[in-house]
Structure 1
Amino acid sequence: MAMLKALVVDDASFVRDLVKRTVRQRFPVIETMDAQNGRRAQSLMSRTAFDLVLCDWEMPEMSGLELLQWMRAQPQYEKVPFIMITSRGDKDHVIEAVRGGVSEYLGKPFSPEGLSKKIIKVMGRKLKDAMDHSGKSMASPADAFKESATLLTRKPEPAATPPVSEPSSPPAAGNAATPRPAAGRGTMSLASVRFAESTLKSVVKDINLTEVRVIAKRDQVFPGILDQAVVDIETGEGQMARLNGYVHQLQAVDKRQDTDFVSVTIRFVDEDPKKLEDLSRFIARFRAGTP
């Protein structure tokens, strides 16, 4: 029987399900509920007492930072642990979250082990006493991650725009450090794809509202199929889109065993209208071949 309550807040249902499954597998004494944005979370927290909040930063209606600030102003939530789980890991945002009263900060993509360590750190004795009282043992974080694989393989919604067509010839081996741009484009669109343990420098080859396909040099550290990913793309005017997703496909660019380039397809899971709007603008510029 669950003795503690945790609230998981994220606009992407995939991320909410992944966090909840990890928590249930690792900490069976914690019951989880979820909300798709800060406004919904605020409503739930006004009716139910929670012992832990795990929250994204960028969400429609009310952001994670706004929820944190509201929460710290409530006597019943002044000291309740709040873990910010977000792709915004730059120093300024970390400082802003700390000033807002965040308990811990976990960057996306995260591993089940990393999430578990943060929960143990912020819950402390309260979690240990609950686990001891229930006689439950902590499951392996790897087990939780394996169980979540079914979430990753769900069929995505149809793309709002078709993918950009691929030139017939792949980049030649031994060329410069990055692949050539697609035919007819005056510039290359670069992307950094972040994983739990590495970052992949790449060039955008095809993109639509459902997924992106990038080309990367083989001499980098590559992820595994179904690994979580965050795709960082410059969308123009100094703005950066941080798109959450997972690895759908890895494929050699050509049939040679010593090929220099690998194609990586990332399926998006974000449901934030603002992110989709930014992505749509980037796709329009990508198709036009403008920076």
Structure 2
Amino acid sequence: MATLKALVVDDASFVRDLVKRTVRQRFPVIETTDAQNGRRAQSLMSRTAFDLVLCDWEMPEMSGLELLQWMRQQPQYQKVPFIMITSRGDKDHVIEAVKEGVSEYLGKPFSPEGLSKKIIKVMGSQLKNAMERGSKSMESPADAFKESATLLTQKREPAPEPVAQSSPKSASPLLAGNAAPASRAPARASLTLASVRFSDSTLKSVIKDINLTEVRVLAKRDQAFPGILDQAVVDIEIAEGQMARLNGYVHQLQAVDKRQDTEFVSVTIRFVDEDPKKLEDLSRFVARFRAGSR
């Protein structure tokens, strides 16, 4: 049934699986192959012709930007759509990717709808024709074809202008408005702030505990909360002017107090990044955090 080929490139297997599942469910005519970094992707692309590349930016061995630069130098890939899917959404990085020939830019965490619309936008009639051929080859079109046909015929909204992300130190709902009583407020005298981004909201919070595999943050209940297993990107200032953007998913939600009217909720995010550089930066931050909490 599949007539088009897509390559999914990300060092986090959790993210690769999310992308592949979305593509498989929304576009049955696209067959997906995955790679854990740009070097592996380069090897696969040299042996197989792909119609679409969906790629992360920060990866070990070869970054997404380096893969894009190499790809645009290959005659067979000069016009193949390349979607950069990354937590690096600040304006400078968007501009840099555009200069190198990126087709579209999608920020993490993403929704299935957001990813689907980007794929439709960059593949255009090529995807539409493949979907029509796939639908006609079946006696009764499957739900996936019907859903994709609806997406293909929707009016496209203009893409929003990229907005530079601010440091999580700039504001915190935890520290503003009606402050919680001292007995129920986060215990650390010097708060370490974090922004936890989801596909449709951002949670302002303070870090309660962190290690190399997960972070536990506290957030006021009056914010929009995610669901279990939702994608997340945790923004932490690990050094002056240096941001870490850690990819993960929601592992646990728990009320801080055993009361229905508790003001604070504890959110545990499990990290999925496998980039050695990110893990090294995180390790240094964890050491400083633990030293400061003594």
Report the TM-score when normalising by structure 2. Answer: 0.84
Q: Is 2:9 the counterpart of 1:9?
A: yes
Task: In structure 2, list runs of 5 or more residues that go unmatched.
Answer: 136-140, 149-178
Q: What is residue 61 of structure 1 aligned with on the other side?
A: 61
Distance 1:287 1:132 in 2: 57
Deviation at 1:180, TM superposition (A): 3.2
Distance 2:142 2:121 in 1: 17
Conservation of the 8 A alpha-carbon contact between 1:179 and 1:215: no
Query: What SS is found at the alignment partner of 1:106?
Result: strand
Residue correspondence of structure 1 range 180-219 to structure 2 within 5 A: 180-182=186-188, 187-219=190-222
Percent of paired sites with the same residue: 85
Deviation at 1:137, TM superposition (A): 5.0
Conservation of the 8 A alpha-carbon contact between 2:9 and 2:41: yes
Q: What is residue 99 of structure 1 aligned with on the other side?
A: 99
| Deviations, residues 102-133 of structure 1 (Å, cap 9, x unaligned) | 00000000001110010011010000101111
Conservation of the 8 A alpha-carbon contact between 1:27 and 1:138: no
Q: Root-mean-square deviation (CA), in Å?
A: 1.8
Deviation at 1:258, TM superposition (A): 1.3
Deviation at 1:181, TM superposition (A): 4.0
Distance 1:244 1:93, change over 3 A: same
Distance 1:174 1:180 in 2: 9
Query: What SS is found at the alignment partner of 1:240?
Result: strand
Q: What is residue 167 of structure 2 aligned with on the other side?
A: none
Distance 1:115 1:253 in 2: 35
Distance 1:31 1:55, change over 3 A: same
Conservation of the 8 A alpha-carbon contact between 1:9 and 1:55: yes
Distance 2:276 2:52 in 1: 27
Distance 1:219 1:21 in 2: 33
Conservation of the 8 A alpha-carbon contact between 2:254 and 2:267: yes
Distance 1:99 1:138 in 2: 38
Report the TM-score when normalising by structure 1. Answer: 0.84
Conservation of the 8 A alpha-carbon contact between 1:179 and 1:203: no
Q: Is 2:180 the counterpart of 1:174?
A: yes
Distance 1:121 1:76, change over 3 A: same
Moved over 4 A (4+): none
Conservation of the 8 A alpha-carbon contact between 1:204 and 1:214: yes
